[in-house]
Structure 1
Amino acid sequence: MSAYKAFRVELADKIAHVVINRPEKVNAMSADFWTEIVEIFNWIDTNDEVRVVVISGAGKHFSSGIDLMMLAQVGNQLGKDPGRNADVLRRKILELQASFNAVDACRKPVLAAIQGYCLGGAIDLISACDMRYSTLDAQFSIKEIDMGMAADVGTLQRLPRIIGDGMMRELAYTGRTIGGEEARSIGLVNRTFVDEAALLDGVFGIAREIASKSPIAIRGTKKMIGYMRDHRVDDGLEYVAVWNANMLQSPDLRIAMAAHMSKQKPEFAD
Structure 2
Amino acid sequence: MEKYSSVEIVQENPSSPVFTLYLNRPLHSNALSLQFFTEFPKALSYLDNNPNVSVIVLSGKGKHFCAGIDLKSLTSLTADVQASSDRGRSGERLRRQIIFMQEAITAVERCRKPVIASIHGACIGGGVDIITACDIRYCTEDAFFSVKEVDLAITADLGSLQRLPAIVGYGNAMELALTGRTFSGSEAKSLGLVSKVFGCKADMEEGVGAIAEGIGAKSPLAVIGTKRVMLKSRDLTLNEGLDYVATWNSAMLLSNDLEEVLSAQLQKRKPSFSKL
The two structures have a TM-score, normalised by structure 2, of: 0.95
Q: Give the whole-Å Cα distance in 2 for the aligned partners of 1:130 and 1:119.
A: 18
Where does residue 183 of structure 1 map in the other structure?
A: 188
Q: Give the whole-Å Cα distance in 1 for the aligned partners of 2:158 and 2:134.
A: 13
Q: Which runs of 4+ in 1 moved over 4 A?
A: none
1:186 partner amino acid? L
3-state SS of paired residue (2:8): strand
1:156 partner amino acid? L
Which of 96, 116, 140 is equivalent to 1:91? 96
- 1:238 Cα deviation from its structure 2 partner: 1.4
- 1:162 Cα deviation from its structure 2 partner: 0.6
Where does residue 10 of structure 2 map in the other structure?
A: 10
| 1:200-211 matches, cutoff 5 A | 200-211=205-216
Q: Give the whole-Å Cα distance in 2 for the aligned partners of 1:91 and 1:242.
A: 35
Where does residue 26 of structure 2 map in the other structure?
A: 23
- 1:263 Cα deviation from its structure 2 partner: 2.8
Q: Give the whole-Å Cα distance in 2 for the aligned partners of 1:109 and 1:161.
A: 18
Q: Percent identity?
A: 45
Q: Which stretch of the first structure deviates more once superposed, 253-262 or 178-187?
A: 253-262
Q: Does 1:40 align with 2:43?
A: yes
Where does residue 266 of structure 1 map in the other structure?
A: 271
Q: Give the whole-Å Cα distance in 2 for the aligned partners of 1:216 and 1:199.
A: 27
Where does residue 166 of structure 1 map in the other structure?
A: 171
Q: Deviations over 1:5-37 (max 9, x none)?
A: 011101341112100111100110011211000
Where does residue 157 of structure 2 map in the other structure?
A: 152
- 1:3 Cα deviation from its structure 2 partner: 1.0
1:224 partner amino acid? V
Gaps of 5+ in 2: none
Which of 58, 63, 82 is equivalent to 1:60? 63
2:7 partner amino acid? F
3-state SS of paired residue (2:138): strand
- 1:262 Cα deviation from its structure 2 partner: 3.0
Which of 191, 212, 227 is equivalent to 1:222? 227
- 1:245 Cα deviation from its structure 2 partner: 1.6
Which of 132, 137, 148 is equivalent to 1:127? 132
3-state SS of paired residue (1:2): coil
Q: Give the whole-Å Cα distance in 2 for the aligned partners of 1:266 and 1:179.
A: 40
3-state SS of paired residue (1:31): coil
- 1:257 Cα deviation from its structure 2 partner: 1.8
Q: Give the whole-Å Cα distance in 2 for the aligned partners of 1:260 and 1:128.
A: 35
- 1:135 Cα deviation from its structure 2 partner: 0.3
The two structures have a TM-score, normalised by structure 1, of: 0.97
Q: Give the whole-Å Cα distance in 2 for the aligned partners of 1:195 and 1:188.
A: 18
Gaps of 5+ in 1: none
3-state SS of paired residue (1:255): helix
Q: Deviations over 1:68-119 (max 9, x none)?
A: 1111112222213221221121011101001011111111110000000000
Q: Give the whole-Å Cα distance in 1 for the aligned partners of 2:47 and 2:113.
A: 8
1:269 partner amino acid? S
Where does residue 239 of structure 2 map in the other structure?
A: 234
Q: Deviations over 1:112-159 (max 9, x none)?
A: 000000000000000100011000110100000101111000000011
Q: Give the whole-Å Cα distance in 2 for the aligned partners of 1:180 and 1:236.
A: 32
1:64 partner amino acid? A
3-state SS of paired residue (1:112): strand
